[in-house]
Amino acid sequence: MGRPRSASVGLPVHVHIVRSRGRPYYYYQQGRGAKVKGQRVKLPGAPFDGDGTPNDGWWKAYRRCAGEGDEAPAAGTVSALILAYKASAEWRALSERSQGERLRHIRLIEEVWDDLAVAGIEPWHVVEFRDQKASTPGEANNIIRSLSAMLAWSVPRGWRSDNPASFVKKLKLGEGYSPWSWADIELFREHARPPMWHAAALALYTGQRLSDVLAMRWKDLRGDVVGLQQGKTKKRLAIAMHKDLTALLAELDTLRDPATKSDHDTVLVNSRGKPWTPDGFKASWQAQLDSEALAPLRERQLVFHGLRKSAVVFLLEAGCTDAEVAAITGQSRDMVEHYARKVNQRRLAAAAVLKWEADEGVRRKRA
């Protein structure tokens, strides 16, 4: 049997493909690659026929594995819309990461609205649902985005005539994930296992998301430049390497087996020398932060994504323009400007105090 490959774009979460003699076989397994994993179940046939029509038997088996039940939902209900949406070309065009996030959101919606008629949804329903999640505004907004995408999909297909979620404003967010200070980074470097530090450093010095860092391959490195296409935005970036990143990559290269190494190998590997799976990395990352030595980071609720924010802050504090930072991280100028306002405020405040102190010295001399 051929070696397992990661799930291709368009498959539901927890589904992966194994190819044998050129033929694909589909399996369902939660927590694949993690220490604690679910049962591996072979799914019958393929999710879609040659003409793109959903294979009812395959999707029925998938729903059973995912705990969604065997019975077909009533026509016109939210549950029926979710099923149709997940079988659509638009759903298959989403990245695996986006599918996983959106699936989590629409499951929350289905828990409350499963038998609600899609045609009967009003803006006030959406507001009420949003406000139930108001204690976590970021999550509430993401749920409404997923709902809005699904309802927008339903309009040209005759489910309803408009998108009621488009009338609902997003909740105001706080500051989001906290950036790591340089002291935090040094603490992590000192106490983390090498594979964990390698991932953190690659995220910090490239300013990229976890998914893009784990997917990075040696072929993406050309001279002193990292070339990549972001999985979420599809932006193509060419990032000049920080000298510390160059040193780290040289170190990682020496750890590779010369007899088997390939340009297609992932830069980051686990302690067994294998490419990380997202679930496996997240489990190992959480276990690392649970260690006693890293309790200060845990208490401050620092997360991996905060390293991306740290990259932005460090670049801005070094005097980079918004455009220069955006060229590295691939973020929008608006997002970079949001961070820049705080950095600039600190600079202005520091400069103001220095001027104040200098003026006091002049006045004292005059007196």
Give pLDDT, residue 7: 36
In CATH terms, the superfamily for domain 73-174 is Tyrosine recombinase, N-terminal domain (1.10.150.130)
Output the six-digit token pair for 131.
């406000």
Q: Output the CA–CA distances (angstroms, integers) from residue 105 to 66, 84, 139, 152, in the order listed.
A: 15, 16, 9, 16
Largest CA distance in the chain: 92
What does the alpha-carbon distance between residue 239 and residue 225 come to, in Å, rounded to a whole number?
5
pTM of the predicted protein model: 0.57
Q: Is 210 exposed, middle or buried (0-12, 13-18, 19+ CB in 10 A)?
A: buried
Give pLDDT, residue 3: 37
Q: Where are the domains of the chain?
A: 1-71, 73-174, 182-348
Closest C-alpha among 187, 255, 245, 254 to residue 216: 245
C-alpha count within 13 angstroms, C-beta hemisphere, residue 92: 10
What does the alpha-carbon distance between residue 202 and residue 208 come to, in Å, rounded to a whole number?
8
Give pLDDT, residue 70: 61
What does the alpha-carbon distance between residue 227 and residue 231 come to, in Å, rounded to a whole number?
13
Closest C-alpha among 109, 111, 98, 175 to residue 140: 109
CATH topology of domain 182-348: hpI Integrase; Chain A (1.10.443)
Give pLDDT, residue 8: 40
Residue 241 near residue 167, CB atoms below 8 Å: no
Closest C-alpha among 62, 74, 78, 58 to residue 30: 62
Give pLDDT, residue 202: 95
pLDDT tens track of the chain, all 367 residues? 333 333 343 567 788 888 888 888 889 888 776 666 778 888 888 887 766 666 778 878 887 887 766 666 788 899 889 988 988 888 888 877 788 888 889 888 988 898 899 999 999 999 998 998 888 888 888 899 999 999 999 999 999 999 999 999 988 766 567 889 999 999 999 999 999 999 999 999 999 999 999 999 999 998 889 998 888 888 898 998 999 999 999 999 998 988 888 999 999 999 888 999 988 899 999 999 999 999 999 888 899 999 998 888 888 888 888 788 888 888 877 777 777 676 666 665 666 666 676 766 666 666 6
